[in-house]
Amino acid sequence: MTSHYEVIVIGAGVAGIYQIKRLADLGVEATVLEAGGDLGGTWYWNRYPGARFDSESYTYGYSFSRELLDEWRWKEKFSGQPENLRYLNHVADKFGLRKYMQFNCRVDAARYDEARNLWHVQVSDGRALTCRFLVLTLGLLSIPTLPRLEGMGSFKGRSFHTFHWPHEPVDMAGKRVAVVGTGATGIQVIGEIADKVGELTVFQRRPNWSAPLNNGPISDADMADLRRRYDEIFATCARTPGGFEHEPDRRGFYEVSREERLALWDELYDGPGFGIWLANFREIFTDEKANAEFSEYIADRIRRRVKDPAVAEKLIPRDHGFGVQRVPMETNYFEAYNRPNVHLIDLGETPLVRETETGLRTTEDGGERDYEFDIIVYATGFDAITGAFDKIDIEGVGGMKLADKWRTTISTFLGMMVHGFPNLLMPSGPQSGSASTNYPRGIETGVNWCTDFLEHVWAKGYTRFEATEAVEKRWTDHVTGMYAMMLMRRAKSWFTGYNSNVPGHEQGTIRYLVYNGGSPKYVGIINSVAAKGYEGVTLGASAPPGNPPHSYGEVSR
């Protein structure tokens, strides 16, 4: 069995699939190591009811193949998990990518060997592999986190994090079900299962601003039209900050009348997807007064949809304005609370105390209260963006650990390279253009840039690259500076690196994880770095004799 590769890619999700496609096309000796039992990443793992795109399906799919665009038929405007996984499998099969992938291969450690200019990759099945170049496509939300709660594991019924939702159907009819967490995931689950379970109890610590997804089927005629317009659609995605079709309203918030603002908001509320967030006035993101006025508009919408005024008030966020955290898109979410079998527990008033053998315990009136369940669903989020990097023991030059380097401040060059970690690429890494945008659009950009870069390295005969400390600092300062303009910098959300369940990630320290400059600016910067011969990246041919040669151009598979 091969133990040395020119390139090892870690992760067979949306990014890893496209990365191996590009490498396979170049005839590079490469493999993808995937911890899961099959490909698909996010769409392989998250099988909870209601899991679906918040991106328009036809803007989420890959854009690299006209044939693929012409043959794949999206059935819904916002496609659900089973279909999304089928799509990714179709892509892998169509382009013959599966043969490059190794499943059930969790990478425990990756160590850069300076003397041999190689990466040593340790796989959980005991194998030790080597490669010249290591590409990390680990996913932004691939390390789920459970509450740090006393008694976790003591519940005798069924319980799972949404990320680990069982592959076989879960019978919830007539069951007493708890959902803990009301982020994008909890909001999708709750809207979907409220009318399918016996009793549903929602444990909400902080409400989230949420607005209708307005999903619907795509007819044959719609699909034919989308196919005709694909070039135009992707061109629009490329010029919008978020990589979506939704373009910000460029009129000044204060230049139009209140009536005009309301007219736009009514239209957006009834429109599809993230329009309400991203096709809004730009001041929503930066100006407290504008944000407060719009937040009050959404609060009224919630009041109109939730019959019990006391429940409605509990569902309205008080600690942050609309859109400063990732906006969950919902279907029947607020109406769920009008059902007699759905109960809302406000953990702000009565915090969780522990998991018990029969359910969950909260405080109540100076004492405690037990809730009994058949199933507990934890929709409690992820050790976002850096979690999957921290999970692998990644060691660079001089024994430096990536997890240590990033412990207090994240620093990268373009979100794709790290000083001290030569020959390592992250097409959708922290501080890259992917995290805060329509993910596949950002991924294609990142994978293309990294692959073009590797082609450059191979063409020039280099075997080693490393971003300089100076450019890394400049990029990180730029990323940090972008936060300063945004109201989101004060939010407790995974965009600012907050997670109460991960020691050190509790509120208090902003972690500058995402690039807020928007896709066009990001693409402009990375393209200009490439145009200047990868300025800021030290390139060298440092492999001592005897090393395995790189196999660019020699297809040995």
The 3-state DSSP class for residue 369 equals strand
At closest approach, how far in Å is the CB of 364 from ligand NA7? 16
Nearer CB in complex with ligand NA7: 183/518? 183
| Helix, strand, coil distribution of the chain in percent, nearest 5 | 35, 20, 45
Nearer CB in complex with ligand NA7: 381/536? 381
At closest approach, how far in Å is the CB of 162 from ligand NA7? 6
At closest approach, how far in Å is the CB of 321 from ligand NA7? 14
Nearer CB in complex with ligand NA7: 182/214? 182
The Cα–Cα gap between 424 and 405 comes to 15
User: Whose CA is closest to 274, among 238, 237, 246?
Assistant: 246
Nearer CB in complex with ligand NA7: 181/396? 181
At closest approach, how far in Å is the CB of 184 from ligand NA7? 4
DSSP 397: G
Q: Nearest to ligand NA7 by Cβ — which residue?
A: 183
Give 112: exposed, middle or buried? Use CB within 10 Å, 0-12, 13-18, 19+.
buried
85 Cβ contact partners less than 8 Å away, ≥ 6 residues apart? 40, 43, 44
Which positions lie near ligand NA7, rule CB under 6 A? 141, 147, 180-186, 205-206, 326, 347, 352, 379-382, 494, 500-501
At closest approach, how far in Å is the CB of 209 from ligand NA7? 11
Structure tokens at 400: 């430096």
Do 14 and 36 meet the contact criterion of CB atoms below 8 Å apart? Answer: no
Token pair 């996984």: residue? 85
User: Whose CA is closest to 341, among 204, 194, 190?
Assistant: 194
Nearer CB in complex with ligand NA7: 50/415? 50
User: Whose CA is closest to 303, among 292, 315, 318?
Assistant: 315
At closest approach, how far in Å is the CB of 32 from ligand NA7? 23
Do 155 and 358 meet the contact criterion of CB atoms below 8 Å apart? Answer: yes
Residue 468: HSE in the Cβ half-sphere, 13 Å Cα cutoff: 10
User: Whose CA is closest to 203, among 365, 344, 355?
Assistant: 344
Element (H, E) at 361: strand 359-364
At closest approach, how far in Å is the CB of 85 from ligand NA7? 16
Nearer CB in complex with ligand NA7: 135/379? 379
Do 83 and 369 meet the contact criterion of CB atoms below 8 Å apart? Answer: no
The Cα–Cα gap between 34 and 38 comes to 8
At closest approach, how far in Å is the CB of 499 from ligand NA7? 7
At closest approach, how far in Å is the CB of 438 from ligand NA7? 11
At closest approach, how far in Å is the CB of 547 from ligand NA7? 41
The Cα–Cα gap between 553 and 175 comes to 59
The Cα–Cα gap between 486 and 431 comes to 15
At closest approach, how far in Å is the CB of 9 from ligand NA7? 23
Nearer CB in complex with ligand NA7: 423/499? 499
Contacts of 283-288 with CB under 8 Å at 24 or more apart are 283/252, 283/253, 283/254, 284/253, 284/322, 284/323, 285/323, 285/324, 285/486, 285/487, 285/488, 286/485, 286/486, 286/487, 287/253, 287/487, 288/321, 288/487
